[in-house]
Structure 1
Amino acid sequence: MPLNAAYAGRQYAPDAPYVVGREKIREFADAVGSTHPAHHDVAHARGLGYPDVVAPPTFAVVIAQRTEAQLITDPDAGIDFSRVVHADERFTHHRPLVAGDRITTVLHVDRVIERSGLAMVTTRCELYALPAELPDDVAPVDVTSLTDHVATVTSTLAIRGADA
């Protein structure tokens, strides 16, 4: 099935919250070679004014890719993941992610273009921190009431056609 171009403009419901873990931050920092002490040491991060260890800026991709799975696994979208190549990733941060953040994300499909057997899909993930009074396992139905907009992750996926 070819990519469903009608998905341009689609928005998915907020996903279940992702709890940013201290060890996940440390593991990610190690994986990307980020040695800044604020990524590893709670006391150092607190000395800089943060409540806990701080995630490297690209850590937001971990949360975004989890959310983008809503599109990738949607059978009506027509995406064959075995034919996907990651073309671009951009981050806009409003504040750093820190251990203990509970992040819910809204996925937007901003653009779908098909040319010469190649489809390009641009998605935008809006990451919001949940207030303490919301439970960990419930995504808010209405994100317009959330005021802690942490980051925006914009991704472009290239999907090779059957002849590519």
Structure 2
Amino acid sequence: MPVNPDLVGRVFPPTPPYLVGREKVREFARAVFAEAPQHSDVDAARDLGYADVVAPPTFAMVVQDITLQQLLAEPGSGIELSRLVHAEQRFRYTRPIVAGDELTATLTVGGIRTLGGNAMVTSDAEIVDATGAHVVTATSVLLVGEGAA
């Protein structure tokens, strides 16, 4: 089944709030080799003016993943995990993510481009804090391979 072109412009419901935990930030920082002290040391982060440890920039993927799960679960989308490659990722920040943030994300499918039976699906996850203020937009491009003939 090809990717359903009716997904373009689709806005999924906001995710449940995700509370950014200090230990989650530290674990993520270790996993991606982000060794700057503000990612693990509260005092270092506070010296830089933050309330708590600061997540590495790619941490937004943790929240964005919840929105991508919505897309993958959409019946009739034509997007199957077994045919999927994460082709591109971009982030546009208003401010860094900090432990203690409560984040909610809303996914919008921005476009689908067909390439020889494959499809490139572009989506934006708008991530906001508990006050509704923009924190980051995470843009993903998913390459969906052609299904079995």
SS in 2 for 1:43: helix
Counterpart residue identity of residue 79, structure 1? I
Identical counterparts, % of pairs: 49
1:34 and 1:56 in contact (8 A); partners too = yes
Mark the runs of 5 or more structure 1 residues left unpaired by the alignment.
132-145
Residue 98 (structure 1) aligns with: 98
Residue 122 (structure 1) aligns with: 122
Residue 42 (structure 2) aligns with: 42
Counterpart residue identity of residue 149, structure 1? H
The alpha-carbon deviation at position 49 of structure 1 amounts to 0.7
Counterpart residue identity of residue 79, structure 2? I
Mark the runs of 5 or more structure 2 residues left unpaired by the alignment.
none
SS in 2 for 1:153: strand
Residue 11 (structure 1) aligns with: 11
The alpha-carbon deviation at position 61 of structure 1 amounts to 0.9
Residue 152 (structure 1) aligns with: 137
Question: Deviations along 1:31-81, whole A, 9 cap, x unmatched?
Answer: 110111100011111111100000001110111111111111112212111
In structure 2, C-alpha distance between the alignment counterparts of 1:35 and 1:120, rounded to whole Å: 34
- Superposed CA RMSD: 1.2
Question: Deviations along 1:71-124, whole A, 9 cap, x unmatched?
Answer: 111122121111101110000010000000000011000001222111110000
1:72 and 1:79 in contact (8 A); partners too = yes
List 4+ stretches of structure 1 deviating above 6 A.
Answer: none
SS in 1 for 2:76: helix
TM-score by length of 2: 0.96
Aligned length: 149
